[in-house]
Structure 1
């Protein structure tokens, strides 16, 4: 299994680097475009904050993980549709950047994000990459299928599947890694982020 993970990462570096670039650019854009997006996104932020404060949304490991794993799954599945995972990753990065820009205390905001964010951002990046690889496997399948004009339908499907299976397997491996990282992120966010932030903040404020 470890060899499969290494292979999935080594053979899909471009997909991972592209996902990192999307995340970084969207975070920066969200942060610096905050004044222009305030009227659109601030109601969303205020609504989420109110729901957390009133207990409508409970930040338990289960609720955090289920919400985040849906995003990971969406990036994996929608990646097969013209790499739509890039849009989902970009939106999430933009929203995080926007949220940090709206806070009065930049250091505190980072402390409340980074302990679990290291794993959550990594998970989202790998999930997006898995969507790109899934799209690649589908393209390979279709290209091989269309090139075979003299074979029977059964043979064409069999050969095409064999051609795209390697990438399909790698996409799934990346998805599993992203899911594991998201589970770790959910645990840290539910139980460790706030204590870590409260411990470190006095030394930095």
Structure 2
């Protein structure tokens, strides 16, 4: 199994590198475009902050994990349409960049993001990559089906799936790792992020 995981990463590093680039570019854009987006996005940030403070949104492990699970599932499933995985990752990165830029206390915000963000961003990157690999599987399946000369539709579908199923398996493997990373991120965000941030702030 470990060899299969290594192979999945090695053969699909293009998707991972592309996802990393998309996330980094979107964060940078969100950060530097903050002055132009303040009137549009600040009400969203304030509303979210108010809901957390008043208990409308609770920051329990279950709430955070299932909300983030929905996001990475969308990135995986919407890989069928290719660009939607990229758009979801890009939007999330853009919002993080904006949120950091709009903060009045940059150090505190970074301390509240980085501990769990290391795992959460990694999870999102792999989820987007798995969506791109899923799209690659679909392309390979269609190509194999197009070139298959079997007289039976059932045989053609079976042959095409056999020829392209490796990519589907690799997409699922990478998504499962994304899922594990997101669970770790949720645990750290709920139980460790705030204590770590407050401990470090004492020395600043």
Deviations 1:60-107 (A, max 9, x none): 000000000110100000011134100000000000000001101111
CA deviation after TM superposition for structure 1 residue 39, in Å:
1.2
For residue 73 of structure 2, what is the aligned residue in structure 1?
73
Indicate yes or no: 2:103 matched with 1:103.
yes
**Whole-Å separation in 2 of the counterparts to 1:39 and 1:163:** 51
What is residue 61 of structure 2 aligned with on the other side?
61
Structure 1: distance between partners of 2:165 and 2:83:
18
Instruction: Give 1:203 shift.
Output: 2.3
- TM-score normalized by the length of structure 2: 0.98
What is the TM-score with the length of structure 1 in the denominator? 0.97
Q: Unpaired segments of 5 or more residues in structure 2? A: none
Indicate the residue corresponding to 1:190 in structure 2: 190
Structure 2 match to 1:5: 5
Does the alignment pair 1:36 with 2:36?
A: yes
1:123–1:181 contact (8 Å) kept in structure 2: yes
Residue of structure 2 in register with 1:50 after alignment? 50
Alpha-carbon distance in 2 for matches of 1:166, 1:149: 21
Q: What is the distance in 1 between the residues matched to 2:60 and 2:196?
A: 17
1:84 partner SS: helix
Shift of 1:149: 3.9
* Distance in 1 (alpha carbons) for counterparts of 2:75 and 2:23: 13
Number of residues paired by the alignment?
204
Determine if the alignment matches structure 1 residue 136 to structure 2 residue 151.
no
Gaps of 5+ in 1: none
CA shift for structure 1 position 151:
3.2
Q: CA RMSD in A?
A: 0.9
Name the counterpart of 1:21.
21
